[in-house]
Chain A
Amino acid sequence: MGVVCAVKNKTGSKTFVQIQRCMRLLMFFMVAGCLQVAARGLGQSITLKENNASLESVLNSIKKQSGYVFFYNYRLLEKSKPVTIQVTNASINEALNACFKDQPLSYSIDGRLITVKLKDEKPNQATDIGATPRSVISGVVKDSLGRPLPDITVSIKGKGKSVRTDKDGRFSIQVEPGDVLVFSSVSFMPRQIIATVDNPMISVELKPRIDKLDDVEVVPTGYQFLKKSQIVGATSTIKASELYFNGINTLEQSLQGKLTGVVITNDNGGLVGVRQKTRVRGTSTLFGNQDPIWVVDGIIQQDPLPFKASSLDAYGGIRKDNFDYIRDFVGNAISWLNPQDIEDITVLKDAAATAIYGVRAGNGVIVITTKKGRSGPATVNYSVNGSVTERVNYDKLNLMNSKDRIAVSREIFDRGLTGSTSYNTKIGYAGALNDYMSKNIDYDEFNRRVKAAETVNTDWFGLLFQTPITINHNLSIGGGSNNTRYYASLGYSDVKGTAMGNGSKSYTGNVSITSNLSDKLNVTVRLSASQKNTTGFFRQNPYAYASSTSRAIPAYDAAGNRYFYANTLNSSNSGFSFNMQNELDNTGSTVKQLTANTNIQLNYRLSKDISLETLFSYSISSANGVSYATDKSNYIDSIRGYDYGTVSNTDAAYINSRLPFGGEYNQDNNQSAAVNWRNGINFAKVFNKKHAVTALLGEEINSTRNNGFTETTYGWLRDRGNTFANLPLTYTSNNTANNLLTAMPHTLIDNVVNNMGAYVTGGYTYDNRYVLSMSARTDYSNRFGQDTRQHFNPVWAGGIRWNVYNEKWMERIDWVSNLSIKASFGYQRNLASNFSPYLIARPSLSATTASIFDQNTAEYLLYISNLPYTNLRWEKNTTINLGASMGLFKNRVQASVEYYQKIGKDIITYLSVPEEYGVPTMPVNGGSMNNRGIELGASFVPVRTKDFTWSVGFTMSKNFNEIIKTANSQSLTWKTATSGGLYHEGYPVSAFWAFDYQGINAANGYPMINLAIKGSDSLTDPTSYMKYMGKMDPDLASGISMMFRYKKFTMSTSFYMQLGGKKFLSPAYKLNAYLPSEFDNLSRELLGRWTPANTTASFPGLPDKNVGNTVRLPGGNTYTNPYEMYNNSSARVVSASTLRCNSINISYTLPARFITRARLKNATVGAGVTSPFAIVSKDFRGIDAEVATGGQPRTRTYTLNISTSF
């Protein structure tokens, strides 16, 4: 700290001078091109015909003809002689020479400036005040609306002198003739004005910097800021101001359809605080991590939880354990970031753009830059928004009411579809009928109960869902001087889900300071912290329950108490009383996440061309997740073996219980600490004004430590002071050992991942027209068993670019304002993490003593974890990217198109090997996969007048993905084929198959399925008897956003469209014991079902007791039934093409006079709605697409926000 102060105190004005020089240099590069053009445009030919005219008038006519500007003191001209001159088409020099030939004066030309001086006056002798008079220029700076602009830096070009405008936009500065005034600010385009003595009071209007998608001139890559015209790779950038945050949608959600090549899918319905799936340019590895990496201000963000492979069940489905329920509610690597702090977001897509990140960037990189302070007095921004989300209700769903549902039950019994014992239940129509048949009730009572069930029509959505209000507050302050800028923000958000009990609260804080300690040393310090508490569910899903439970089941009994019933058909909790509201009161999960980041960046300019950079960051995050079920929950009933409070300690049930007291408490604690340190040397130099060379050489180290502990404890007593009851050591009269004691798993995680990388990137630009760029990186890590130290395996890429619009011959085509073509080539690599060239052993993963040590000899045991695979190579993606971008009519129309091809070779797959080798499979570099795609981005401004602007932005991505070769062994069942999880050569990833539906058997109403084998071997390939339906991922994803501005009103809309891609409708027949159970609600589709009276219906009839799992599928011992096949048949496949309006929002900027009166700088009010409507395929027959495919419908959210700055 002492050092910093010392530097600051000692430098002072010297620094200032150097900054001016620096700025001049910068200015030179930036305007060099323009000046050349301008100079060429000046009239060089001067024609004069004067006789004894005053010098002043002659110079004035030269000024008019040439556009040159003169500087002189009037008093000087008094000494002049009259001029007689006659020149035709003379150059400026010739003309001036003729004028000054006999004068006591001389002139000098500097650019467009001609200074008139006394002859013999030496240029360096600027001491004679009388000879070089100074004058004061003052003026006012305004914006385009005429509002005064404070804090604009007014400096004299090339001299160490500057002033700032005051709050009324006024300034005054002492100038010499020939001085050029520079008006600059971060938010406005710089402007230069030549100080002329004849105009001492000036009014300057500054234009704001235009923050448009394609106007971003500098692209952050996380390592560098590159000029857009020098980028050879595929990138796209969006300003945060173009994204719509309403406090509920996550950062990823708001990106949907906004960036070309980025596809966001939400698998978790409408829940709050859950993760989204992000893919950049398709899927390029089969077994590795498929997520892109997130980079915030140059720092790669770590996932808050260490990677955990999911355990799969026999059908290839993911089996959830207690901790997976917690993990669902832990956000991703950037969930700590307050979206309001984001300045812009850039996605790096191809190898040329990502090579500098090395192997980790195989799936793309998303770079986020956060806001920095802007120089000027402190600006405080405060914004608040409140949102209301619509509740899900039955209108959006296509479900039966209780009357329709009872009618189905009635048909089941009237037609005798079920045997009496297999449909034994106490509720609904069947319950009443059972009681009547066993003569417990009379016919009148039976009718009364059926009537009651028909009319109860329980509104499960009304009971379990709410219309939540979400509030966000955000306060930020930013400002600074030329040397030091600061930005700080505080955010609070309270988000509530529509499902009662789901929500999250978060607090974020962020401070960043950038300071020039000297003209050579720049320091940026950033500190941020966030806390987020999320509450969710445990083993319950309110949407699933509400949408699948029969509305004939009451929620309350006649006395108004909660109605409990036993779902005898649910194998996991059969026979125990259940009430959803009670269950939600007694189960749940909470996740507390705490994140703190700090980073320090130092930039040191070694010389004019070389600078050094070091960036150090440290971040810690902790996630504390809990899931629980109390002793009053049905889940615990099923472990305990009897309903809560129904048994005394002398009953057999008590003795037979493993958990007579208490519930279950699962805890998952994770801490991770990451250190990142990066050092680089930057070189940039322009030779001969034409050859621009840039280079960056650097190295980076990264260390992440994860500590975690998970445990499950039984016997938890929430309502008794959160204490724990001991479990009985034995249960049953035989004193069987209590296996719950061994079912309390403990897992300890303690690992360190260290990475070290060296990177180099270089570029050469000739005359701003031809660009050549290369980057490479090599990485080393402590990853176990890989020994990457021994394999120098750099990732490299390069590309070229031709800025066509800078060619001379383009000048004539004035409607083209920009045109460039680029091409890149490179390799991206991926090392699947589970394989090694070494023999790796591990202790037993199970806690069973017999597997930890030999029970006979008490010797410890080690198991083979990885056989050595010496020939395994890194996965290799060869990437080619071709792109073109253009701007027309002064960039009012901008478009870019990119084509890419990613050829994945050596992708690791599992090869089935002969059993004689003792292992079922071995990993080989056997697979290959091809990703091709085209991306289109366009923006144009159809109308731009003073009062009305209409601008349109458009993105489109089309990806073709094909698996060329795969040798992996996978779960070859019809279930993987219908789920899209079967990788099949010649088909894309996410290809899926369905049973071939042939219609309805008119005799019994069963669906008919064609199981004939086509082609390949049915033993190993379920697709041989199924029908290929297409793929689940969309072919084409497109986003359209439009902005209308009329005076102070702005309206923005955002649409998302996806074409191609197919989906299964949600199962029509949810079978439980082969018949729709009395507990389940059914789709209204079934109202059009086959019945003996309606044999030509479009829907199969109700199944009956004879529909067992009796259909043996070809080639094996897999049995299924016609209705399960129907649910997964071609009849249930629909196109998933959608056009969805993501958001519409309107904002209004309050008028200037109101703002000034309220002592504000700016104030805006706005309102918006998300998901207002969607247009889907007609296959959905008007049902909400998400509902039809089994998901939770997106409901509309209305948001109101106010934003002020002062």
Chain B
Amino acid sequence: MNTIYKSCVWLLLTGFLFTSCKKFLEQTSQDEIIPSTTDDLTQLLNAEGYPYNIVVDNYTDLLTDDVQCTGVPAGISASLATTYTSMLNNGTSLFTFNPTMFDSTGTTINVLGLSGVDSWKIYYGKIKGCNVVLDYINKVSGNDQQKNALRGQALFLRAFYYLKLVTLYGQPYSGAGIDPATSPGVPLILSSEVSDSKPVRNTLAEVYSQIEKDLLQAADLLKNNFKPANTFRVGHIAAYALLSRLYLYMGRDEDMDNVITYATNALNEKPGLTSLATFLLTYKSYDASGIYDFTKSPEIVWEFGANSVQTTTFFPSAASPGNVIPPYSVSPELAGLYEQGNGTDTTYIGDLRYMMYYARTFSIVWPVRSFKISQNKLTLEAKGIRVAELYLNRAEALIRRYKKNSSAADLSQALSDLNTLRANRFDTRFKTYKPVNITDADALFSFCKDERRRELSFEENFRWVDIKRWGMAITHHYVDANGVASDYTLSRGSNLYALPIPYTAINRNDQLTQNPR
């Protein structure tokens, strides 16, 4: 009898003691994890830090002189007229330099809502991804090399996005009358912590200096710890390349040495360019895989894919551009910069870039939009960093230095850089490339600018930044849907050099001062 009672008591007591099992409270989830290894963070950075599959900045070309407006052509089918009218309307406020372009209430079309236009939101979303990785890198397991590799990539990407933001929404660093120490840049968010405090805009000097700091650190970390397995991940060469771009954009005379140093660092390790002539199959027929196809083109430093070939917000799809000139297309000014063969000589086409860098309409051979496509022309349009930019960056810096000190070495190196690039861009199948030899500093600078425009059109906002830093004025000839034309001018040093901050961002943060407009 007693034993039964005792056993019952023991049963109860053991119940009290052993039901509190630690394993019982171990956290579980079917589909969520707390990142705990560098491998987890790498996957997170790939999705949330890298610009994977994002469409962005596909509107800045409309602000440049690389694009013309011809309105909606008459006599086209009703459906095409509708499509073209919407493209025309989408771009109107941008092309006409309307200072309220990003205020949806000011115009009938919410430009900001169009795919890829709200760069502010897109880039700050990616910066969050980089900051999360940087904040958590010390809380996960993994060796120092893996952690440093991740840290280097995250720092690079954050710097890359800040350089995008500050060149879009800030005045040029060394623009006329601009004091970087006071001119507003963008708010620097360097931690993943979200709070309700409202960040204010840092100055241009603070933003550029942060970018410089991040990139220098990234270059160091990446050089020692990371060798990218493919062109879609960034290594130290990309960091050198971006540094050369950064210093060129800062644009003071004292920055030119840094441009040359970092371009040289990068080119020493990766000098190769892709000869466009190797893409030619027969006369006027060529392999359309493009300059960003990593299987064919050795000059890619880093590329990221964006589904912008298919976006038809402003331009017709690159895959099927149609057979009439769309409202916006490549300007005749830019088209005219390319040296062409005589059109009948089947052995010499001249500058192959005119043929290969643009998508063109079928029946009217007219360049419409960029076609610097990647390995799969239907799904990806790559952007990124190419070796060609490094030669151009270095040449421009050398020419500016030559202009000051008339050093023959600088001149010859600059000419060599330009000619190296051009030699890979011309039809050299049967004709050897004829190098240019300009010795007048101003003329050479002007030639270099044109070369930059020819090479880097419709890529990474290059032309828009160049217009700003070179202090250029632009006049746009706008033709509305009814065919009525009018001219709009972006003056030198215009307020619009710093694009208006989207109203959606200001609505959420009243501490953001809008750019004067």
- How long is the Cα–Cα vector from A727 to B186 in the complex, in angstroms? 54
- CB neighbours (8 Å) of B193 from chain A are 868
- How long is the Cα–Cα vector from A677 to B32 in the complex, in angstroms? 28
When A679-B12, A918-B125 are in contact, do A862 and B198 touch as well, CB less than 8 Å?
no
- How long is the Cα–Cα vector from A917 to B33 in the complex, in angstroms? 23
**Does B192 have its Cβ within 8 Å of any Cβ on chain A?**
yes
- CB neighbours (8 Å) of A786 from chain B are 27
Are B35 and A857 in contact, with the CB atoms below 8 A? no
When A919-B194, A924-B196 are in contact, do A843 and B31 touch as well, CB less than 8 Å?
yes
- Give the Cβ gap from B117 to chain A, nearest Cβ, in Å: 14
- Give the Cβ gap from A1110 to chain B, nearest Cβ, in Å: 14
Are B189 and A917 in contact, with the CB atoms below 8 A? yes
**Does A709 have its Cβ within 8 Å of any Cβ on chain B?**
no
Are B25 and A780 in contact, with the CB atoms below 8 A? yes
Q: Which residue of chain A has the shortest Cβ distance to B120 in the bound complex?
A: A915
- How long is the Cα–Cα vector from A35 to B366 in the complex, in angstroms? 111
Are A842 and B121 in contact, with the CB atoms below 8 A? no
Hey, what's the 0/1 contact readout for A487-527 against B, CB within 8 Å counting as 1?
00000000000000000000000000000001011000000
Are A840 and B33 in contact, with the CB atoms below 8 A? yes
Q: Which of A242-250, A580-588, A666-674, A749-757 touches B?
A: A749-757
Hey, what's the 0/1 contact readout for A1-35 against B, CB within 8 Å counting as 1?
00100110010000000000000000000000000
**Does A838 have its Cβ within 8 Å of any Cβ on chain B?**
yes
**Does A556 have its Cβ within 8 Å of any Cβ on chain B?**
no
**Does B76 have its Cβ within 8 Å of any Cβ on chain A?**
no
- CB neighbours (8 Å) of A840 from chain B are 32-34
**Does B199 have its Cβ within 8 Å of any Cβ on chain A?**
yes
- In chain A, residues 886-914, which have Cβ atoms closer than 8 Å to a Cβ of chain B? 911-914
**Does A701 have its Cβ within 8 Å of any Cβ on chain B?**
yes
**Does B78 have its Cβ within 8 Å of any Cβ on chain A?**
no
Are A841 and B232 in contact, with the CB atoms below 8 A? no
- How long is the Cα–Cα vector from A789 to B195 in the complex, in angstroms? 26
- Give the Cβ gap from A1103 to chain B, nearest Cβ, in Å: 25
Q: Which residue of chain B has the shortest Cβ distance to A967 in the bound complex?
A: B196
- CB neighbours (8 Å) of B120 from chain A are 915
- In chain B, residues 263-311, which have Cβ atoms closer than 8 Å to a Cβ of chain A? 305
Cross-chain contact of B43 among A606, A750, A860 (Cβ < 8 A)? A860
- Give the Cβ gap from A786 to chain B, nearest Cβ, in Å: 8
Are A785 and B32 in contact, with the CB atoms below 8 A? yes
Are A614 and B15 in contact, with the CB atoms below 8 A? yes
Are A521 and B8 in contact, with the CB atoms below 8 A? yes
- How long is the Cα–Cα vector from A226 to B432 in the complex, in angstroms? 103
- CB neighbours (8 Å) of A782 from chain B are 24-28
Are A754 and B110 in contact, with the CB atoms below 8 A? no
Interface size for A (C-beta < 8 A) is 71
Q: Which of B128-136, B342-350, B396-404, B487-495 touches A?
A: B128-136
**Does A856 have its Cβ within 8 Å of any Cβ on chain B?**
yes
**Does A121 have its Cβ within 8 Å of any Cβ on chain B?**
no
- CB neighbours (8 Å) of B77 from chain A are none
- CB neighbours (8 Å) of B196 from chain A are 911, 913, 922, 924
- How long is the Cα–Cα vector from A784 to B502 in the complex, in angstroms? 37
Hey, what's the 0/1 contact readout for A170-213 against B, CB within 8 Å counting as 1?
00000000000000000000000000000000000000000000
**Does B509 have its Cβ within 8 Å of any Cβ on chain A?**
yes
- How long is the Cα–Cα vector from A916 to B169 in the complex, in angstroms? 13
Hey, what's the 0/1 contact readout for B485-510 against A, CB within 8 Å counting as 1?
00000000000000000101101110
Are B9 and A841 in contact, with the CB atoms below 8 A? no
Are B27 and A784 in contact, with the CB atoms below 8 A? yes
Interface size for B (C-beta < 8 A) is 70
When A782-B26, A917-B189 are in contact, do A862 and B305 touch as well, CB less than 8 Å?
no
**Does A128 have its Cβ within 8 Å of any Cβ on chain B?**
no
When A838-B34, A841-B40, A861-B47 are in contact, do A679 and B199 touch as well, CB less than 8 Å?
no
**Does B4 have its Cβ within 8 Å of any Cβ on chain A?**
yes
- CB neighbours (8 Å) of A866 from chain B are 32
Cross-chain contact of A922 among B34, B35, B40, B194 (Cβ < 8 A)? B194
Are B47 and A751 in contact, with the CB atoms below 8 A? no
Are A918 and B127 in contact, with the CB atoms below 8 A? yes
Are B121 and A677 in contact, with the CB atoms below 8 A? no
Q: Which residue of chain B has the shortest Cβ distance to A613 in the bound complex?
A: B12
Are B132 and A867 in contact, with the CB atoms below 8 A? yes
When A861-B46, A1117-B110 are in contact, do A915 and B121 touch as well, CB less than 8 Å?
yes
- How long is the Cα–Cα vector from A867 to B194 in the complex, in angstroms? 8
Are A752 and B28 in contact, with the CB atoms below 8 A? yes
- Give the Cβ gap from A594 to chain B, nearest Cβ, in Å: 24
Are B8 and A913 in contact, with the CB atoms below 8 A? no
Hey, what's the 0/1 contact readout for B3-46 against A, CB within 8 Å counting as 1?
01100110110011001100011111111111100001011101
Cross-chain contact of B198 among A518, A780, A781, A914 (Cβ < 8 A)? A914
Are B128 and A919 in contact, with the CB atoms below 8 A? yes
- How long is the Cα–Cα vector from A679 to B16 in the complex, in angstroms? 7
Are A865 and B194 in contact, with the CB atoms below 8 A? no
Are A917 and B4 in contact, with the CB atoms below 8 A? no
Q: Which residue of chain B has the shortest Cβ distance to A911 in the bound complex?
A: B196
Are B232 and A701 in contact, with the CB atoms below 8 A? no
When A521-B8, A614-B15 are in contact, do A784 and B29 touch as well, CB less than 8 Å?
yes
**Does A878 have its Cβ within 8 Å of any Cβ on chain B?**
no
**Does A1046 have its Cβ within 8 Å of any Cβ on chain B?**
no
Hey, what's the 0/1 contact readout for A1104-1126 against B, CB within 8 Å counting as 1?
00000000000111000000000
- How long is the Cα–Cα vector from A864 to B128 in the complex, in angstroms? 10
- CB neighbours (8 Å) of A699 from chain B are 16, 19-20
Q: Which residue of chain B has the shortest Cβ distance to A11 in the bound complex?
A: B1
Cross-chain contact of B46 among A839, A854, A865, A918 (Cβ < 8 A)? A854
- In chain A, residues 570-611, which have Cβ atoms closer than 8 Å to a Cβ of chain B? 602, 604, 606
When A751-B28, A856-B230 are in contact, do A677 and B44 touch as well, CB less than 8 Å?
no
Are B199 and A916 in contact, with the CB atoms below 8 A? yes
Cross-chain contact of B132 among A6, A518, A864 (Cβ < 8 A)? A864
- Give the Cβ gap from A1109 to chain B, nearest Cβ, in Å: 15
Are B26 and A916 in contact, with the CB atoms below 8 A? no
Q: Which residue of chain B has the shortest Cβ distance to A862 in the bound complex?
A: B43
Are B44 and A841 in contact, with the CB atoms below 8 A? yes
- CB neighbours (8 Å) of B466 from chain A are none
Are A839 and B19 in contact, with the CB atoms below 8 A? no
- Give the Cβ gap from B319 to chain A, nearest Cβ, in Å: 15
When A787-B27, A854-B52 are in contact, do A862 and B4 touch as well, CB less than 8 Å?
no
- How long is the Cα–Cα vector from A555 to B196 in the complex, in angstroms? 61
- How long is the Cα–Cα vector from A783 to B43 in the complex, in angstroms? 24
**Does A612 have its Cβ within 8 Å of any Cβ on chain B?**
yes
- Give the Cβ gap from B127 to chain A, nearest Cβ, in Å: 6
**Does A313 have its Cβ within 8 Å of any Cβ on chain B?**
no
Are A915 and B4 in contact, with the CB atoms below 8 A? no
When A10-B1, A780-B25, A863-B48 are in contact, do A912 and B508 touch as well, CB less than 8 Å?
yes
- How long is the Cα–Cα vector from A606 to B110 in the complex, in angstroms? 77
Are A916 and B189 in contact, with the CB atoms below 8 A? yes
- How long is the Cα–Cα vector from A789 to B23 in the complex, in angstroms? 12
Q: Which residue of chain B has the shortest Cβ distance to A844 in the bound complex?
A: B47
- How long is the Cα–Cα vector from A840 to B46 in the complex, in angstroms? 16
- Give the Cβ gap from B512 to chain A, nearest Cβ, in Å: 8
**Does B475 have its Cβ within 8 Å of any Cβ on chain A?**
no
Are B40 and A604 in contact, with the CB atoms below 8 A? no
- CB neighbours (8 Å) of B48 from chain A are 862-864
Are B128 and A917 in contact, with the CB atoms below 8 A? yes
**Does A859 have its Cβ within 8 Å of any Cβ on chain B?**
yes
- How long is the Cα–Cα vector from A545 to B436 in the complex, in angstroms? 80
Hey, what's the 0/1 contact readout for B104-130 against A, CB within 8 Å counting as 1?
110000100000000011001111110
Given contacts A782-B24, A916-B186, 20 further A-B contacts (CB under 8 A): A521-B8, A604-B12, A606-B9, A612-B9, A756-B24, A782-B25, A782-B28, A785-B34, A789-B25, A841-B40, A856-B305, A857-B46, A861-B47, A862-B40, A865-B32, A913-B196, A913-B508, A914-B509, A918-B124, A1117-B104
- Show 12 A/B contacts (Cβ-Cβ < 8 Å), sorted by A: A604-B12, A612-B12, A614-B15, A784-B28, A839-B35, A839-B136, A864-B48, A868-B192, A916-B199, A918-B124, A918-B189, A1116-B105
Query: What are the nearest 4 A-B pairs in CB distance?
Result: A918-B128, A914-B509, A784-B29, A861-B47
